[in-house]
């Protein structure tokens, strides 16, 4: 979704989890991924990216990632998921920089 706030352009990419029959949560998600091929299903309650044009630096963007989620995994898996999000932000930064004229 694109919008304008106080004369600045902004974009939002918001997402939430949907239930999929082939990946059903179990009563003991935290300890066992039983019956789901070893997958532990996390849940995004309300997550997404907010991108706004900078007010102080013309041609610059401010990118924010908001995540409200439960990983339903052991701590190491949760940290790995967060690290993947950080890598995605770094890749997005690199891509935006490479597209500058």
pLDDT in tens, 9-68: 999 989 888 877 776 655 554 444 445 555 666 778 888 899 999 989 988 889 998 888
Q: Do the Cβ atoms of 24 and 36 come closer than 8 Å?
A: yes
pLDDT at 101 over 60: no
pLDDT of residue 100: 73
Helices (H) and strands (E) in the chain — how many of each?
Answer: 1, 4
Check: CB of residue 33 under 8 Å from CB of residue 21. no
Q: What is the pLDDT of residue 39?
A: 61
């Amino acid at each position: 979704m694109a919008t304008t706030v106080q004369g600045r352009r902004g974009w939002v990419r918001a997402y939430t989890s949907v239930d999929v029959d082939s990946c059903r949560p179990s009563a003991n998600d935290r300890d066992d991924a039983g019956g789901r091929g070893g997958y532990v299903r996390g849940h995004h309650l309300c997550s997404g990216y907010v991108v706004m044009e900078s007010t102080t630096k013309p041609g610059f963007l401010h990118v924010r990632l908001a995540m409200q989620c439960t990983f339903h995994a052991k701590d190491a898996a949760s940290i790995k998921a967060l690290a993947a999000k950080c890598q995605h932000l770094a890749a997005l930064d690199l891509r935006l920089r490479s597209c500058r004229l």
